[in-house]
Amino acid sequence: MKKKNKRSYRKQHCAAAGIVCLLVFSSMSAPAAADEPYDVYNYNYLGEAVPSQAGYLAERSVSGLDLGTTALNAPADLFKDSEDFFYLVDSGNNRILKIDSEFTEIVQEYTSFTMPDGSETTMKNPKGVYVSPDTGLMYIADNENSRALIVNPDGTVEKEITKPTSTVYDQQLTFLPQKILCDNAGNVYIVLNNTTKGAAMFDASGEFIGYYGANSVAPTAEVIANHFWNAIASEDEKRYRSRSTPTAFDNFDIDTVKGFIYTSTSSGSTDTDIVKKVNPEGYNLFDYMSNFTWGDLFSTWYSGTSYKTKIVDIDIGDDGSINCLDSTTGRVFQYDKEADLLFIMGATGDQVGSFTAGNVAAIETKGENCENIYVLDAGKGSVTVFGQTVFGQIVHHATTLYNGGYYEEALDPWLEVLKRDGNYRRAYLGISSAYYNMGRYKESMEYAKKADASARYNKAFERYRSQWLRQHLTAILIIAVVLIVGIKVLKRVLKNKRKKPADTASSGSGS
Amino acid sequence: MMDLTQPQWVKHVVFHPFEGFEDLRWKKGGTLKYTAIIIAALFVAMIADDRWCGFQFRPLPDAMFSVMPYIMKSVVYFLAWVLGNWAICTLLDGEGTMKNICIYSSYALIPYIVSTFINVFLSHILVRDEQVFFSTVYYIGLIWSAILLFSAIKSVHQYTFTKTVAAIILTLFAMLVILFLAVLFLSLFQKVYVFFYSLYTEILYRIRV
């Protein structure tokens, strides 16, 4: 009995130890358990998709119920203000939720506002929201009420922007605001879904000024032919000719620090001006990147459907990174401010970290180094929170230093990046630049070659060559002198040798 | 007079663009052995030019190496040239035999091959700003070879200046036709091969079942 007891005790002990072991192992493999439900990849210097380390992991998915309210119904927009409060536009429920910075609870729920005359007004299918960092005013694109509201944080309407009466605005068109933002000067920009002329622009007093930042027409063969025929057509004929119009951009974000407005175009039929960086004058600073492919470099064709990247929302992080949300594949493409690809994350599916195909709505980032990314899935009615991995932190750190011109300081982070992911091309570029600045040209050449950056290689090689010449100048001179003297001596010796047999021959014949 | 060894003939021809080939013809110099060596050198030069240049001038070569494009650029083009020229000039009362066309044309390629090798070497010690040296060497080699080739065709067939020009233009056309026919034949034979192979498998299948 005792023995048996002991044995059973031992058994229990073993079992307990086993459970502890299991727990330890499972907690150790917790990151593996939280693996992303997709293959993480990046593009190497040849433009091939290669496996890569994850820069972000999906931490959790937050639904309306998680926030302590009813389920979200077709939410359309998510915005983070300068104080890290989130504003979620719950279009189907005609409300805007203000959520705390941890994204756990609702701070305030806006369903109706007080008009200046004291009456109450409600929203109808609001589509976009923006909160000014200077004034704290909330800008709401109140879509089906054909107006934009400028609201104080306490819920009183400061101003209402309705359809402009100006002749510049075609009066046959409706006025259905989709997205809205305001710049530092208080100008309001509204994306409409029925014009290709750009965003409608209103000054601080609510007057319509004009359009802002239209896309350009893709120079296809058809457009060029049209241009030619229009040049020789009469006025009468011109009226019946088809016109070349650009595609309209349908979302934008403002870099509040620099004042640039970034637009995104989700049209699947064009490759031009997918992402624009527009300065206050309306000029696209990304114009020189006309051959740049945003999103996936290759689009898949499957059963007659093209799975081409469609960027539905764009967000500029506090560190200047450009975050693009692709609705086709449910992927987030994160670029640094120079439009170099940093990370790709997300997929379509049902697990945390994947989204409803074709139905993601908005993206936001938080933190000085983009520590968190928030993706709003309209189909599921939830927000997925991505957190930065250690790898992501190092890359962001290195990128920030590098883009700031601190090449040497960025060397260690880049080397660390390479340790974790040997395919990460930007690391090779960064290391090459760092070594160049440190005067280690040989290494700089080596890394430039690995990054396939021949212009950089050329620069490093030029310095390496002059360094080498300077170091070996005496040796080179000595060798040159020895060679010249040696050749002269050799020639003379050969001459003498040739002469000698001739001499002997002549002397032989003489005797 | 002019009793030169074979290597001396090569040197004489290359450095005397206008009368060198006439001398070669008069003295019946030149051997096919040197032709083989020169074409082999051309083949190596093509590879070198593509893959061994300094990174500041040429992009990194593909990770996959296929020898076919280089054979194409050297041996096949040369053979097409010889064949085309022989075919055209037989009709145009040329005096050259196939063997002589082979020898003379190959000797004419030497400056181009040498300039290519010099460029491969230079590409490792020059930077992009000094690209002018690079292209100078290239054009010197190219023009020198072009003059030699013209002179070679002129001598081997004993043509006048205008007739040589016409012959060369026609030869280029003939090369196009030859290469076109070659591609056509290749694809045709492939089809025939596939046909017989499927026939074979079909019969095999019938026998078994």
Q: How far apart are the C-alpha atoms of A27 and A490, rounded to whole Å? A: 80
Q: Do B54 and A452 touch (CB under 8 A)?
A: no
Give the model's pLDDT for residue A501: 61
CATH topology of domain A41-388: Neuraminidase (2.120.10)
> Per residue in B85-109, pLDDT tens?
999 999 999 999 999 999 999 999 9
Residue B72: CB partners within 8 Å, gap ≥ 6?
none
Beta strands at A157-162 and A147-151: parallel, antiparallel or unpaired? antiparallel
Whether the CB of A340 is below 8 Å from some CB of chain B: the reply is no
Over A452-467, what HEC string results? CCHHHHHHHHHHHHHH
C-beta separation of B55 from A449 below 8 A: yes
- B62 CA: distance to closest CA in chain A (Å): 10
Give the model's pLDDT for residue A193: 85
> Per residue in A100-110, pLDDT tens?
999 999 999 99
Cα separations in angstroms, B182 against B70, B72, B86, B176, B189: 17, 12, 17, 10, 10
Q: How far apart are the C-alpha atoms of A438 and A442, rounded to whole Å? A: 11
> Per residue in B147-189, pLDDT tens?
999 999 999 999 999 999 999 999 999 999 999 999 999 999 9
Give the model's pLDDT for residue A166: 87
Question: What residue of A is the nearest CA neighbor of B59?
Answer: A454
Q: How far apart are the C-alpha atoms of A113 and A120, rounded to whole Å? A: 6
Residue in B55, B57, B127 nearest the CB of A462: B127
- pLDDT tier at A31 (50, 70, 90 boundaries)? very low
Over A360-375, what HEC string results? EEEEEEECCCCCEEEE
Higher local confidence (pLDDT), A174 or A270? A174
Residue B53: CB partners within 8 Å, gap ≥ 6?
B119, B120, B123, B124
Using the structure block, give the residue that is written with the tokens 């001598």.
Answer: B155
Residue B40: CB partners within 8 Å, gap ≥ 6?
none
Give the model's pLDDT for residue A508: 45
Number of neighbours of residue B3 by Cβ within 10 angstroms: 7
Q: How far apart are the C-alpha atoms of A328 and A294, rounded to whole Å? A: 13
Which CATH number does A389-471 carry?
1.25.40.10
Whether the CB of B3 is below 8 Å from some CB of chain A: the reply is no
Question: 3-class SS at A402?
Answer: helix
Contacts of A458 in chain B (CB under 8 A): 56, 127-128
Q: Do B128 and A458 touch (CB under 8 A)?
A: yes
> Per residue in A417-443, pLDDT tens?
999 998 898 899 999 999 999 999 999
Give the model's pLDDT for residue A25: 47
C-beta separation of A437 from A408 below 8 A: yes
Q: What is the length of chain A?
A: 511
Contacts of B56 in chain A (CB under 8 A): 454, 457-458, 461
Can you name the residues that pair with A181 across neighbouring β-strands? A189
Beta strands at A354-355 and A347-348: parallel, antiparallel or unpaired? parallel
Tokens of A328: 């086709």
- Alpha carbon dihedral A110, A114, A120, A124, in 10-degree steps, equals -50
Mean of pLDDT values over B126-153? 94
Mean pLDDT (chain A) is: 87
Q: How far apart are the C-alpha atoms of A424 and A427, rounded to whole Å? A: 6
Mean of pLDDT values over A271-293? 88
Residue A292: CB partners within 8 Å, gap ≥ 6?
A286, A339
Can you name the residues that pair with A210 across neighbouring β-strands? A201
Q: Do B55 and A457 touch (CB under 8 A)?
A: yes
Q: Where are the domains of chain A?
A: 41-388, 389-471, 479-511
Whether the CB of A113 is below 8 Å from some CB of chain B: the reply is no
Give the model's pLDDT for residue A236: 83
- A458 CA: distance to closest CA in chain B (Å): 5
Over A147-198, what HEC string results? EEEEECCCCEEEEEEECCCCCCCCCCCCCCEEEEEECCCCCEEEEECCCCCC
C-beta separation of A204 from A159 below 8 A: no
Tell me the backbone φ, ψ of residue B198, rounded to 5 degrees.
-70, -35
Question: What residue of B is the nearest CA neighbor of A465?
Answer: B125
* In chain A, residues 464-503 whose CB comes closer than 8 Å to chain B: 465
Q: Judge if A41-388 and A389-471 fold alike in CATH terms.
A: no
Q: What percent of chain A has pLDDT over 90?
A: 57
Q: How far apart are the C-alpha atoms of A336 and A326, rounded to whole Å? A: 17
Using the structure block, give the residue that is written with the tokens 């609201």.
Answer: A151
Q: Do A458 and B127 touch (CB under 8 A)?
A: yes
Q: Mean pLDDT lowest for which of A33-37, A113-117, B114-118?
A: A33-37
Q: How far apart are the C-alpha atoms of A404 and A398, rounded to whole Å? A: 10
Give the model's pLDDT for residue A327: 92
- pLDDT tier at A26 (50, 70, 90 boundaries)? very low
Give the model's pLDDT for residue A9: 52
Q: Minimal CA–CA distance to A313: which of A257, A352, A260, A364?
A: A364
- B139 CA: distance to closest CA in chain A (Å): 23
Residue A185 reports pLDDT greater than 60 = yes
Residue A28 reports pLDDT greater than 70 = no
> What is the radius of gyration, based on Cα positions, of chain A?
33
Whether the CB of A435 is below 8 Å from some CB of chain B: the reply is no
Residue B209: CB partners within 8 Å, gap ≥ 6?
none
Higher local confidence (pLDDT), A21 or A493? A493
Give the model's pLDDT for residue A221: 82
Higher local confidence (pLDDT), A446 or A300? A446
Which secondary-structure segment (H or E) carries B180? helix B161-208
Mean of pLDDT values over A397-422? 93
Helical axes B110-122 vs B131-157, angle rounded to 10°: 170
Number of neighbours of residue B186 by Cβ within 10 angstroms: 10
Q: Mean pLDDT lowest for which of A25-29, A206-210, A308-312, B119-123?
A: A25-29
* In chain B, residues 122-151 whose CB comes closer than 8 Å to chain A: 125, 127-129
Give the model's pLDDT for residue A24: 47
Q: Is A181 exposed, middle or buried (0-12, 13-18, 19+ CB in 10 A)?
A: buried
Which secondary-structure segment (H or E) carries B138? helix B131-157
Q: Is A434 exposed, middle or buried (0-12, 13-18, 19+ CB in 10 A)?
A: buried
Q: Where are the domains of chain B?
A: 6-208
Give the model's pLDDT for residue B202: 95
> Per residue in A236-252, pLDDT tens?
887 777 777 888 898 99
